[in-house]
Amino acid sequence: MAPTTNCSRKKQLNLPLFQRKLKRMCSSIHQSRRVVVTGLGVVSCLGTGMHFVWDQLLSGTSGITNIKGEAFEQIPSKVVGLVRHGNNPGEFNLTGLPTIDGRAVTQMTQYCLRAAEEALTMAKWKPVQDNDKERTGVCIGTGMIPLEEVVNAGELQRQFHYRKISPWFIPRILINMAAAHVSLAYGFKGPNHSVSTACTTGLHSIGDAFRFIRNGDADVIVAGGCESSVTPLAMAGFARMRALSTNFNATPQVSSRPFDKARDGFVMSEGAALLVLEELDHARQRNAHIYAEILGYGLSSDAKHITAPPEDGRGAQRCMEAALRDSHLKPEQIEHINCHATSTPLGDSVESRAIQSLFKNHSSNILVNSTKGATGHLLGAAGSIEAAFTVMSVYTGTVPATLNLQTPMTGCDLNYVLGSNITWNSKFNPRIALTNSFGFGGTNASLCISEYVV
């Protein structure tokens, strides 16, 4: 072995100092690129259009209904959240969307394109210059591919011939196709990114987009999730896992009841929700209206079980801790948490336990809610629609009540928002909230969202 020279020893001794300087420099870069929300688009069972849906949520409306059809007869759960189609206010239609080839687009992608159109219109960002398009990206994911597309194609191949398979079959089922079609529709040439992390997908997409902008990879990104999985096969699969609500088939509007003592499973729902994230100086230069600021993003893994979270809530707790650390915040600065709470017996209690463990005495001061009582569980789009609701809460100063929360579950003493909406009178300036998403496979995400203050 060659002797260590004075020069090499000096380099070794100075390495930690260099690493500290590099860390401070990277932190400075991150802090200089702040990320804000300038547009929101929503398609859900509560309606289509962010402001329409927000009004429905605040009015205590439920979007849950019964599922009908021979294909669903054997499935024990009869409650779902379906997007309403039509030409009336708040209904989904394709009017005004960019021209698309219907052979390559599934209903899920149609929902995504509608949400993108609304979010970009609200943000007033539809660039025509190549430089602007190159600095605009897309981060959109989905939790599940269209299962019936696969089943139908397989039956065609077995019964007939491979030539019966549509050449559009593969493009229709790929996870990244919703992101691809938004990119194609508007000519966005920046990052084109798609994740699929079960029910954490929507929030992971927004969090990843936040980091892309903070790291300088783009100035504007359309981010979120979409889902259209209320189908016989998907519902049968979840029903066999005993994950779906079955006790309220006769009264669907009260079937999704997060944190309630009578909760018995989640309600499958569909839709899309997208946020336009933008670097702050970029938004200021074009006088964009700013709805909120993204402060930080946290991730973790339970590494415990493929579907069940650990009962002590440590995975969720680490995730929220990571978001606070990334935001440079103290726990007592959080005054509202929009929870993942899907209305399952285990999941809701575990998340509540994680909040108590992390925030300790301050947990009783936090306004804790779940908007799934009104929307059901949008799977891959759940995290993004709840991020949109959290943006609206910090923007308007109103926290929606958790619909159908009548008798809070025992064992957790949190300040659940039940009965009526709460006006958020913050002790701090600005108002700051967390929103959580957790998914099968033990994957977790938390996003810290703040009221924007000049």
pLDDT for res 163 = 86
pLDDT for res 7 = 47
Whether the per-residue pLDDT at 2 is higher than 50: the answer is no
Instruction: Select which of 45, 139, 199, 412 is catalytic.
Output: 199
pLDDT for res 28 = 56
Whether the per-residue pLDDT at 117 is higher than 70: the answer is yes
Cβ neighbours for 34, distance < 8 A, ≥ 6 positions apart: 214, 279, 280, 293
Q: The tokens of 376 are what?
A: 């059901």
pLDDT for res 428 = 83
**Each residue's pLDDT tens digit, 331-358:** 999 999 999 999 999 999 999 999 999 9
Q: How confident is the model at residue 112 (pLDDT cuts 50, 70, 90)?
A: very high
- Mean pLDDT, to the nearest integer, of 421-442? 95
The chain-wide mean pLDDT, for the chain, equals 93
Whether the per-residue pLDDT at 286 is higher than 60: the answer is yes
- Of the listed ranges 39-48, 113-122, 207-216, 305-314, the least confidently predicted one is 305-314
- The identity of residue 322, as a single letter, is A
Q: How confident is the model at residue 27 (pLDDT cuts 50, 70, 90)?
A: low
- Of the listed ranges 117-126, 145-154, 183-192, the least confidently predicted one is 145-154
Task: Name the nearest CA neighbour of 326 among 296, 358, 306, 349.
Answer: 296
CB-based burial of residue 258 (10 Å sphere; 0-12 exposed, 13-18 middle, 19+ buried)? buried
pLDDT for res 31 = 60
- Mean pLDDT, to the nearest integer, of 44-50? 98
pLDDT for res 185 = 96
Catalytic residue check, 7? no
Task: Name the nearest CA neighbour of 334 among 209, 427, 215, 216.
Answer: 427
Q: How confident is the model at residue 1 (pLDDT cuts 50, 70, 90)?
A: very low
Which one has a higher pLDDT value, 78 or 21?
A: 78
Whether the per-residue pLDDT at 29 is higher than 90: the answer is no
**Each residue's pLDDT tens digit, 97-108:** 988 888 889 999
- Mean pLDDT, to the nearest integer, of 44-65? 98
Q: The tokens of 345 are what?
A: 């017996």
- Mean pLDDT, to the nearest integer, of 383-406? 98
pLDDT for res 363 = 96
